[in-house]
Amino acid sequence: MLLTRPRMASSTPAKGGVLVSGGHPGDPEYGCGGTIAKFANAGYRVSILYLNRGEKGCGTASVNCGITRTREAEDACRILHAIPVFGRQIDGEAVVDNAAYAAFDDLIASQSPELILTHWPIDNHRDHRAMSMLSYNAWRALKPHCSLYYYEVTDGDDTMMFSPTDYVDITAEEPIKGNACFAHSSQSPDHFYKVQSDVTRFRGSQVGYTHAEAFVRMSSSRAHPLLSS
């Protein structure tokens, strides 16, 4: 598919809901936090759905870790003007079965999205792969009136074989994205945000922006006006 440039957010009237799903607190922020900010600033209602609460992401599994990462996610969502939503799965123990499909079908449908952004399914982390498949299944029921795009996280480390179809200029939103990512203070943002910034600079260089986030549109999904020209 040809690479396409997105319309600017200021030219798009406020519409409905956008759902951004990720495996853990921090994944949506790092992967497409600039785009989240752009949607929110354009008047969209943005929900960020986390598969789990990151219970094992502080070195050792603990209730306190889940509490810490939940608070960090809530702080990040306040910065991005998004609504945090949490699934009931456990960090590192992702399950994709009939019960999980049914639960996430209902949870995602309850947000009434006109657009879903989720992990690219070829990924080294099982939680990322699971969230991608659960989101895809929910989208199938919403397909007539909902678009589906995939985002990348630390390309080449987690996300693999990602070839973008669409780019969003996040140069203006990059400082907001940075603040949201640094809200996840337990997750070494000094290291990981530099990695992700290198990705957005590279994606920007591909289409003439300082910073850009890249996406793959599901081939049978309708294009969304804020992500495609």
Nearest of 102, 223, 89, 200 to residue 154 by alpha carbon = 200
Cβ atoms of 134 and 106 within 8 Å: the answer is: no
Decide if pLDDT at 9 tops 50: no
Average pLDDT of the segment spanning 90-98: 97
Average pLDDT of the segment spanning 86-97: 97
Average pLDDT of the segment spanning 166-186: 97
Average pLDDT of the segment spanning 108-124: 97
Decide if pLDDT at 206 tops 60: yes
Average pLDDT of the segment spanning 201-206: 97
Decide if pLDDT at 150 tops 90: yes
Burial of 114 per CB tally in 10 Å (0-12, 13-18, 19+): middle
Average pLDDT of the segment spanning 48-71: 87
CATH number of 9-217: 3.40.50.10320
Give the contacts of 99 (CB within 8 A, at least 6 positions apart): none
- Percent of the chain predicted with pLDDT > 90: 83
Instruction: Look at 118 and 11; give whichever has higher pLDDT.
Output: 118
Decide if pLDDT at 184 tops 50: yes
At residue 40, φ and ψ (nearest 5 deg) are: -60, -40
Both structure tokens of 50: 């986390």
pLDDT tier at 79, thresholds 50, 70, 90:
very high
Average pLDDT of the segment spanning 95-115: 98
Give the contacts of 51 (CB within 8 A, at least 6 positions apart): 21, 22, 23, 24, 87, 89, 94, 127, 130, 131, 134
Q: Would you state the pLDDT for residue 60?
A: 58
Decide if pLDDT at 73 tops 60: yes
Average pLDDT of the segment spanning 20-35: 98
Decide if pLDDT at 143 tops 80: yes
45-50 vs 212-217, strand pairing mode: unpaired
Average pLDDT of the segment spanning 116-121: 98
Directed axis angle between helix 189-207 and helix 27-41, to 10°?
Answer: 60
pLDDT tier at 62, thresholds 50, 70, 90:
low
pLDDT tier at 154, thresholds 50, 70, 90:
confident
